[in-house]
Amino acid sequence: MKKLIALFLALMATAGGVRASSEGIAWDKFPEKKLTDLAALQHGAKLFTNYCLNCHAAAFMRYTRLRDLGLSDAQIKSNLMFSTEKMGDTMKVALDAKDAKDWFGGLPPDLTVIARSRAGHGGTGADYLYTYLRTYYRDETKATGWNNLAFPGVGMPHVLWELQGQRTAVYKEEVDAHDPAKTTHVFAGFQQVTPGKLSPQAYDDAVADLVAYLTWMGEPVAQQRVRLGVWVLLFLAVFMVIAWRLNAAYWKDVK
């Protein structure tokens, strides 16, 4: 029995070490106020269709749903529909699966529920995407010429590089506290190589808009569900008081 307990503890310690080593960098907090900002969501939809929808589909989202963002059919057709002319169509891409496998090594994932699927130890899926899209840097050792702090060895190139510009990652050596003879490379920040179309602050704001749209797309009725939930709880609270008083009235004469 003691051996089994010792083996169990050793396995738990090993699993904990593996989990800790795979966690990577801390995720930045996504500004959640963007989720209720229609202008931000509309801008995010524009960024999505212009930069993401070339390779990544959103096969469970119809263009008609964009009306919920305050957009008219004319605005949707003029600014957001490039691969179809039917409002009822879903956001699919013309990229052939075979070509995708030859070019990228596999078909780019569908992004309809990407924000919901990326939640983890570091926070929500929105936190992960907000960090991921802001931590790309140039790495000539990679086939695409790009790498990412949140997803080391990422296969997708930096599609927003024109907006952010090109950066390199700067590392510094630190002495190991437990072994002074050993040094480790620690990330120390980014160095801007070429400027982008946007300032760093404006780029972060644009990424927040894009992530807000990706989050909204995963559950378009989330805000309505929250508002409805509040009214349901208020109704139940009032009904509980009425039921309690009725129960008291029915049983007051019963001995």
Domain boundaries, the chain: 23-220, 225-255
Residue 137, token pair as written in the block: 């840097």
Predicted local distance difference test score (pLDDT) of residue 182: 78
- Annotated ligand binding at 158? The verdict is no
pLDDT in tens, 45-86: 999 999 999 889 999 999 999 999 999 999 999 989 887 778
- The yes-or-no verdict on residue 209 having pLDDT over 70 is yes
Predicted local distance difference test score (pLDDT) of residue 255: 60
- pTM of the complete model: 0.79
- Annotated ligand binding at 178? The verdict is no
User: Comparing 124-128, 155-159, 222-226, which segment has the lowest mean pLDDT?
Assistant: 222-226
Phi, psi of 213 (to 5 degrees): -65, -45
Q: Which helix (H) or strand (E) holds 193?
A: strand 183-195
Residue 162, token pair as written in the block: 């024109």
Pick the CATH number of 23-220 from 1.10.10.60, 3.10.580.10, 1.10.760.10, 1.20.120.420: 1.10.760.10
Q: Could you tell me the sign of the dihedral formed by the alpha carbons of 210, 215, 221, 225, in that order?
A: negative
- Annotated ligand binding at 52? The verdict is yes
pLDDT in tens, 15-54: 333 333 344 689 999 999 999 999 999 999 999 999 999 8
Rg (CA), the chain: 25
Residue 202, token pair as written in the block: 């404006």
What is the rounded (10 degree) CA torsion for 161, 209, 90, 128? 70
Predicted local distance difference test score (pLDDT) of residue 21: 34
With pLDDT > 70 as the criterion, what percentage of the chain qualifies? 90
Predicted local distance difference test score (pLDDT) of residue 24: 64
CA–CA gap between residue 59 and residue 113 (Å, rounded)? 10
